[in-house]
């Protein structure tokens, strides 16, 4: 069985996921843009994998947007996105994983609400660190 490990930015919360991911979506919906502060969210999904909190479970909190299926779990100390379960579906923010995973994104979703500046990203300069 596959096992993945992850944590929040301040390392208060640590978790493991036992099992495989079914899909890996880059979501461009307005909700994901708001709760990531970015162009899209990068989330792994599984209907069968199990989430285990290894430490800091008391620092995990969740927010569900009323009238939608959108929810977000995060560390209440540092604000980092963390895994959560909704309607039997495990959602794991890809950036919260510390262990390597070898799955390419399955699809971009909600492209009708993507940020217009995303179309030009391929032409943006690339740097290994913060430019001077």
Residue 79: pLDDT band (50, 70, 90) is: very high
Mean pLDDT of 110-132: 89
Distance CA 61, CA 84 (A): 9
| pTM, entire model | 0.91
Mean pLDDT of the chain: 94
CA of residue 106 relative to chain centroid, distance: 14
Residue 117 has what pLDDT? 87
pLDDT in tens, 4-61: 999 999 999 999 999 999 999 999 999 999 999 999 999 999 999 999 999 999 999 9
Q: Where are the domains of the chain?
A: 3-116
Residue 132: pLDDT band (50, 70, 90) is: confident
Mean pLDDT of 64-78: 94
CATH of 3-116, one of 2.170.150.70, 1.10.569.10, 1.25.40.10, 3.20.19.10: 2.170.150.70
Residue with tokens 């640590």, as numbered in its chain: 14
Distance CA 125, CA 132 (A): 13
């Amino acid at each position: 069985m596959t096992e993945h490990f992850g944590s929040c930015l301040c390392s208060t919360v640590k978790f493991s996921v036992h099992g495989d991911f079914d899909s890996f979506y880059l979501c461009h919906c307005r909700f994901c843009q708001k709760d990531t502060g970015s162009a899209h969210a990068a989330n792994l999904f599984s209907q069968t994998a199990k989430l285990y909190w290894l430490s800091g479970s008391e620092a995990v909190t969740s927010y569900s947007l009323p009238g939608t299926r959108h929810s977000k779990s995060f560390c209440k100390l540092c604000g980092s996105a963390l895994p959560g379960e909704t309607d039997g579906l495990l959602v794991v923010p890809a950036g919260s994983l510390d262990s390597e995973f070898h799955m390419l994104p399955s699809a971009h979703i909600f492209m009708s609400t993507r940020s217009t500046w995303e179309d030009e990203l391929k032409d943006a300069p690339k740097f290994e660190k913060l430019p001077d």
